[in-house]
Structure 1
Amino acid sequence: MNVHVREGKDVMQDRLLLVEDDTHLAAMVSDFLHENGFHVEIENDGKLAAQRIVHDRFDAIVLDIGLPSMNGIDVCRSVRNQFSGPIIVLTARGEEIDEVVALEVGADDFMSKPVRPRALLARLKNHLRKSDAQLTDEDRIIVGDLVVTPARRQVTIAGDPVDMTTAEFDLIEYLALRAGSVVARKDIYVDLLGLPYDGLDRSIDLRVSRVRRKLGDDPNQPTRIKSVRGVGYLMAK
């Protein structure tokens, strides 16, 4: 089966957003974490960080408090209900009030600056292990060897990660939740795009084609996502 997966070490890398406006510190921490198996992206603006945390797929967040446009406490508060992964807040040395407030708004842990990269790495690994251990079968949608994990927006086939865009993930989650049942094209269109179906738009069909390709499904004789002529689609159990 020709499954589309991310190449190289990225297949096993946890994706982390480092929110820090000190460029020297951010580069130092990023390099160290990258050398130890993380894919790290850096953001130096609080409001932009909040948007990225909600809309992108990250496994963990390292979040400084003193940020432009929105401080780290407000960022944590604004995203906590929409991000289930660990958030570690960086505080100034001795600022106990920051540490208390950070935990109250949903941070999983805090570290005082100056940051000790090895200690940060150990805490990240510990929290990610806990996060994975807390995921049960109730948190996953399992269809044969296909596993969809909504909380982490991840898709795997036989344990191998499959790289999906946000739109593609939304589609496969929608179909997996209804596996074994025929789903009308117009219902998919309305539920995923929030627009009435005009009978002509083929954007959902194109999205299905892309998802099939990434799942290694034969476009001529698909076995995972089947077309139901004149109606819509069926994800086979």
Structure 2
Amino acid sequence: MIEIKNISKHYGDHVVLNDISLRFPKGKITSLIGSNGTGKSTLLSIMSRLLVQDNGEVFVNEKKNTDYKSAVLSQHLSILKQFNNIELKLTVKELVSFGRFPYSQGRLSEEDHEKIEETLGFLDLIELQDMYLEALSGGQRQRAYLAMVVAQDTEYILLDEPLNNLDMRHSVQIMKILRKLTEVLGKTIIVVLHDINFASHYSDYIAALKNGRVKYFGKANEIINEDILKDLFGISFCISQSNGKKLCNYFNHFN
């Protein structure tokens, strides 16, 4: 599993993360929620070694992430950042093949090609595989980037706001893919989400950050609580039930 211990990160006098410790359940979706600036994206970057923390340690399968060689860590853990702008003119299949680089080092084997085909099928991209990224809609493009991460075939997948700028249909499509990744392939997914209802309906666990700390952590139905959400976001929520899931209404509760 992934475990973080006493992680802190400062930018000058500004404290982004303050002595955070957390163990992420394996084979589940854990959503990171909280207001802007609470350190959610920073935490993902530290876990994936894209950013160096000031204090604390990250463990991946009981080994410090700093003790892994980059290529080996990339076989255990993958990350999709919020903004992905590849300047090259690529087809969907070419982009997905990049996910095999930790194994192939640029020379694709028969196993790599099989994994690419499997991933294209898993994310329903077969018909789009020869299209260039620039010709895709925003939702199709995001699915292609997610496929690149899935092709990397890691135990742990970190996603930073994967629903950013997607419409409702494509957002639901992405979240259903994440559920399929955990339920069919056993992946452990840690995802930053801003939409509380997506977190409620698709997460197994929720970690809620406030003031640089993990203020609340637990199963999704425990964290989707009117008092907890008001403490996190400073507005009132009205929570109802829909198909066994909690649905949050906050549009008329700004008091």
TM-score, structure 2 length as denominator? 0.27
**Bigger Rg, structure 1 or 2:** 1
Structure 1-normalised TM-score? 0.29
Structure having the higher strand fraction is 2
